[in-house]
Structure 1
Amino acid sequence: MNSVTDTTGGFSDTERAAMKQRAEELRASKGLKGAAKLAKELEACIAAIDGLEGADGAIATRFHAIVSEEAPDLAPKTFYGFPAYARDGKVVTFYQPASKFDTRYGTISFDEPANLDDGPMWPVSFAVLEITDEVEERLRSLVRSAIS
């Protein structure tokens, strides 16, 4: 069995590794404030992106540029090891690479602080195989809406 489906105590090896990653992220920024914390979180985000290969690396790199251009007030950081972007410490959006859980596509997701509400139901996660011009424009629109 692969590590995604092997379970002990209800969590797969991959899920436990993600939880350990999140705990490490919190420890790494503990005690840091202001610019020092932002710099450390930006460094971690760039390292997470640089650690990705193939389509995951290309998507994460382009998404980082899109968020930087459309929502410069969002602070880059990591979230369970994923490249993420936050406002006031709360993650607004993040990229979950396909390679992390051995899935056929990565996802760009938006958390609760994102302003994507559209009636009683709306999408918050999008499968992305590559960033074409059309996909890029859609992502730009989503990011702009998320921060409005």
Structure 2
Amino acid sequence: MATKDEKNLQKVLAKIDRMDEPARTTMQRMHKIITAAAPELKPRIWYGMPGYALHASSPVLVFFRNDERMTLGLSEKAELKPAGGEDGQLIPAAWYLEELDDVTEKRVAEIVRSAVSVNAR
């Protein structure tokens, strides 16, 4: 019998597989980057799109969407802090992308690890 985590993972993978190209390939890579950067995160569907939480029943911290644009985001449940500097009180919580290159993949992994390390305490 499949666990809740396994069922949720299958739902996330099925959701990604139903996406049109080129988003499907990009989102498959995004899923791999997120799960490699923070293997403790549990995938599940969140507002119709893939989301990742520390536990199957805890709030989603990281998500990605494929609407008009592909988006990586941090939910309001992630500990968010103002950027400071030129951005003042703006809180970085969402990033749009069209594709993944090496620099973007590295930054996605950093964002995910940061969200998890702050919220795992």
Written as runs of structure 1 = structure 2, the 5 A alignment for 1:3-18 is none
What number of residue pairs does the alignment pair up?
109
Q: Percent identity?
A: 32
Paired letter, 1:128:
L
- Letter of the aligned partner of 2:7 in structure 1? K
Q: TM-score, normalised by structure 1?
A: 0.68
- The C-alpha deviation readout for 1:69-118, integer Å capped at 9, x for no partner, is 111111011112211111232111111103xxxx2x21111112324424
Secondary structure at the counterpart of residue 100 of structure 2: coil
Please point out which of 9, 34, 37 is paired with 1:70. 37
Q: Is residue 54 of structure 1 aligned with residue 21 of structure 2? A: yes
Gaps of 5+ in 2: 84-88
The equivalent of 1:6 in structure 2 is none
Q: Which residue of 1 aligns with 2:63?
A: 94
Q: Post-superposition shift, 1:54?
A: 1.3
Of 40, 44, 67, the match for 2:11: 44
- Contact preservation (8 Å) 1:107, 1:127: yes
TM-score normalised over the length of structure 2? 0.81
Question: RCO (CA 8 Å, sep 6+): is it higher in 1 or 2?
Answer: 2
Map of 1:9 onto structure 2: none
Match of 2:74 among 101, 110, 127: 110
Instruction: Choose 1 or 2 for highest CA Rg.
Output: 1
